[in-house]
Structure 1
Amino acid sequence: MDELLSAWWRLRQVRGVGATTLYQLRDLLGSLDALPACSTSDLLALGLKPAVVQQFQQQPLTAAFDALLEWQKTPGQGLLTCDDPCYPPALASLTDAPLWLYWRGNPVVLQQPLVAMVGSRNPTPYARDWARQCAADLARAGVCVVSGLALGIDGAAHQGALEGAGSTIAVLGCGADVVYPKRHRPLYEQIYQRGLILSELPEGTQPQASFFPGRNRIVSGLCGAVIVVEAATKSGSLITARLAAQQGRDVMALPGAVTNPLAAGCHQLIRDGALLVRDATDVLQELDMLCLTPPASEPALQPSVPPLVTELDFASTTSLDVLAIRTGESVSSLMANLLELELEGWLVQEPGGYRRLR
């Protein structure tokens, strides 16, 4: 294992050898194990330039490589190579799958069905509550929820999955030992204890904007589907959705108020063919996962006789929490019903809750 890692690590250090070259070479070789046994003529036949081969063969191992080896020796963390049987097949199928992933926590959760949930860093209460409830319901059904530990929807998705007594995976755009954002340290520790933290970046790597597109491709690549919960038209979540579509994953989106700019990206996705989702049951049904243990569903309200309208004051905005208390409904069912009423023109979503229109 050390010989395999040292060969690939040394090749990554050669000037002019980027990620694309590494991925192509891995595909040509068929496995990571083949590189250490390659002769000079083998490497040249694979398309590497003579100068690159020479630098590779003379590349010394440094303290950074020693740190990589030490990472694997610490209990509760390790390195998962793309040839490892535990490496997620969905991710391994990508041409740009990471050669290895740094992990902390419990890699067994990678064997569960995986669904990603992403969205705005500054969501409305409606979107935040929906993400949390949907993630909890998915977790109860045996699905592991994947996200990026960012503020907003990411955090709500992780928290909901944990509240649902399930598992969650945080994919980071920094080293797996770096907590970003810092205010998510308690959440990071919970995921470390009950889920999994992943990164393709070496330990200690601080977050940079250029790292997040790579992080997003792993989020979508791990999963069978990506759910977008509130996203503006230029949101990074749409980048994740586009990556998911290119990777052959299902893309799903939560609709919102037509006047809400944070919902514009989701509406664009739905127009382009993404599945409109109302709750976790829609997600499970689309992925043929209802046989797992779907969350109990409440009977849907009939728009022609909307009883929830009687709970809304005509002039003032009523919060989702208050509506839940008044109606006795679960948050996920209530939000689905409110969406139907909004589409029928009975009410409008505003900051702080909902207001009756007629």
Structure 2
Amino acid sequence: MDERLAAWWRLRQVRGVGVTTLYQLREQLGSLDALLACTSDELLALGLQPAAVQQYQQQPLTDVFYALLDWQAEPGQGVLTCDDSRYPTALASLSDAPLWLYWRGNPALLQQPLVAMVGSRNPTPYARDWARQCAADLARAGVCVVSGMALGIDAAAHQGALDSGGSTVAVLGCGADVVYPKRHRQLYNRIRQQGLVLSELPAGTQPQASFFPGRNRIVSGLCQAVVVVEAAIKSGSLITARLAAQQGREVMALPGAVTNPLAAGCHQLIRDGALLVRDAEDILQELALFDLTAPPAPVSASSTATATPTTASPAAPALVTELDFASTTSLDVLAIRTGESVSSLMANLLELELEGWLVQEPGGYRRLR
């Protein structure tokens, strides 16, 4: 049995001892191992109340703790403690950083540059496509995309990173073995196989509204920056952005139509000083990161991505500039704008669609990037 983990788990069960107190104790002790050797007098000297010391020493180990040990024993998953070399330095710097995280997948991904992407659960097609494309470009540049596996922007960000052959981290507001929402079963399995699933909650814990603020602080705390893609004035995404600012992280936002209420939160963030971003290159340049054109480096348990200089994205073809992001443009309108024949346009549009510049929808075509 892991006696060190058992000691901290018992202390965590003591009434009145919260995460911040635990982290402060760890800072005073210098390591997780030091708690095992502490006498009652030493624990009192560290600031614990006599009743808390007594409860800690008498606290029995329960089935919940033994379930934690069982979780650790399974291949492809484990418990990452805050003094593990794989625990992200950025997250460890927080006063309320989790003492341990349950994980499934590849924890070596936490050593890559990490950028979070959050936003509306019911985004416009423009925002969903932008998030997917931006996440793909970031992943190809060696950045690991972090989000919360929620509907909408979260899912698009995870999918974009995975589809590009890159990496992604999903931080859950439930146990790391619980799929929420249930319709994301396939996405969860892809992330587990190609990325990393994280949670501070014990395995089997079902989602509750009270768990999501804690999830959000981990999402922002892991990362160098948080990118908000469509968010109403009152939304969880803006809470994540505020947490990021308090944690000293970069906050970035995608602008949208001024008449779109889902863009109002992003516009407010930009007015308050968040960086306006147009594409992945803006994010990479701001963070002095990687080349958009470089293929993603495979990440094993002992390898991390290698930096290369940033280069400009290719300019949009002339035909693409005739399309709108937020609405479809009909083939007849395109023929009028360009002066080309419909047959010529259809051949060019098909080629551009295969290259990822646009998408065909009922009524016409819409620009993606």
TM-score by structure 2 length?
0.83
Cα distance in 2 between the residues matched to 1:330 and 1:88:
38
3-state SS, counterpart of residue 248 of structure 1? coil
Amino acid at match of 1:225: A
In the alignment, structure 1 segments of 5+ residues that lack a partner are 336-350
* 1:125 and 1:352 in contact (8 A); partners too: no
* 1:133 and 1:331 in contact (8 A); partners too: no
Matching of residue 144 in structure 1 with residue 144 in structure 2: yes
Task: Give 1:132 deviation, angstroms.
Answer: 0.4
3-state SS, counterpart of residue 262 of structure 1? helix
Matching of residue 297 in structure 1 with residue 313 in structure 2: yes
Equivalences for 1:219-258 in 2 at 5 Å? 219-258=219-258
Change in CA separation of 1:87 and 1:80 when aligned onto 2, cut-off 3 Å: same
Task: Give 1:352 deviation, angstroms.
Answer: 9.8
Q: Which residue of 2 aligns with 1:70?
A: 70
3-state SS, counterpart of residue 110 of structure 1? helix
Amino acid at match of 1:219: V
Q: Which residue of 1 aligns with 2:12?
A: 12
Change in CA separation of 1:251 and 1:217 when aligned onto 2, cut-off 3 Å: same
Change in CA separation of 1:295 and 1:165 when aligned onto 2, cut-off 3 Å: farther
3-state SS, counterpart of residue 328 of structure 1? helix
* 2:331 and 2:365 in contact (8 A); partners too: no
Q: Which residue of 2 aligns with 1:46?
A: 46
* 1:141 and 1:295 in contact (8 A); partners too: no
* 1:279 and 1:332 in contact (8 A); partners too: no
Change in CA separation of 1:307 and 1:123 when aligned onto 2, cut-off 3 Å: closer
3-state SS, counterpart of residue 95 of structure 1? coil
Cα distance in 2 between the residues matched to 1:258 and 1:102:
41
Cα distance in 2 between the residues matched to 1:202 and 1:54:
25
Cα distance in 2 between the residues matched to 1:186 and 1:283:
29
Amino acid at match of 1:45: A
Q: Which residue of 2 aligns with 1:346?
A: none
3-state SS, counterpart of residue 201 of structure 2? coil
Cα distance in 1 between the residues matched to 2:147 and 2:57:
39
* 1:140 and 1:295 in contact (8 A); partners too: no
Q: Which residue of 2 aligns with 1:264?
A: 264
3-state SS, counterpart of residue 187 of structure 1? helix
* 2:142 and 2:290 in contact (8 A); partners too: no
Q: Which residue of 1 aligns with 2:217?
A: 217
Amino acid at match of 1:298: P
CA-based RMSD of the aligned residues comes to 2.7
* 2:323 and 2:366 in contact (8 A); partners too: no
Task: Give 1:334 deviation, angstroms.
Answer: 6.6
Q: Which residue of 2 aligns with 1:118?
A: 118
Amino acid at match of 2:179: V
TM-score by structure 1 length?
0.86
Change in CA separation of 1:66 and 1:264 when aligned onto 2, cut-off 3 Å: same
Amino acid at match of 2:160: G
Equivalences for 1:99-248 in 2 at 5 Å? 99-248=99-248
Q: Which residue of 2 aligns with 1:345?
A: none
Change in CA separation of 1:225 and 1:330 when aligned onto 2, cut-off 3 Å: farther
Q: Which residue of 2 aligns with 1:339?
A: none
Cα distance in 1 between the residues matched to 2:232 and 2:259:
12
Task: Give 1:326 deviation, angstroms.
Answer: 6.9
Q: Which residue of 2 aligns with 1:347?
A: none
3-state SS, counterpart of residue 256 of structure 2? coil
For residues 287-311 of structure 1, the C-alpha deviation after alignment (integer angstroms, 9 at most, x for no partner) is 1113546687232689xxx6548x9
4+ runs of 1 displaced by more than 2 Å?
A: 290-296, 306-309, 311-317, 324-335, 351-355
* 1:169 and 1:196 in contact (8 A); partners too: yes
3-state SS, counterpart of residue 189 of structure 2? helix
Matching of residue 89 in structure 1 with residue 108 in structure 2: no
In the alignment, structure 2 segments of 5+ residues that lack a partner are 292-306, 335-345
For residues 149-188 of structure 1, the C-alpha deviation after alignment (integer angstroms, 9 at most, x for no partner) is 0000000000000001001000000000000000000000
Amino acid at match of 2:246: Q
Amino acid at match of 2:138: L
Change in CA separation of 1:352 and 1:88 when aligned onto 2, cut-off 3 Å: farther
Cα distance in 2 between the residues matched to 1:326 and 1:159:
23
3-state SS, counterpart of residue 133 of structure 1? helix
Task: Give 1:26 deviation, angstroms.
Answer: 1.7
Change in CA separation of 1:13 and 1:352 when aligned onto 2, cut-off 3 Å: farther
3-state SS, counterpart of residue 211 of structure 1? helix
Cα distance in 2 between the residues matched to 1:142 and 1:9:
36
Q: Which residue of 1 aligns with 2:35?
A: 35
Task: Give 1:23 deviation, angstroms.
Answer: 2.0
**Equivalent residues, number:** 331
* 1:147 and 1:219 in contact (8 A); partners too: yes
Percent same amino acid at aligned positions?
A: 76
Task: Give 1:30 deviation, angstroms.
Answer: 2.1
Change in CA separation of 1:330 and 1:295 when aligned onto 2, cut-off 3 Å: farther
Cα distance in 2 between the residues matched to 1:135 and 1:295:
17
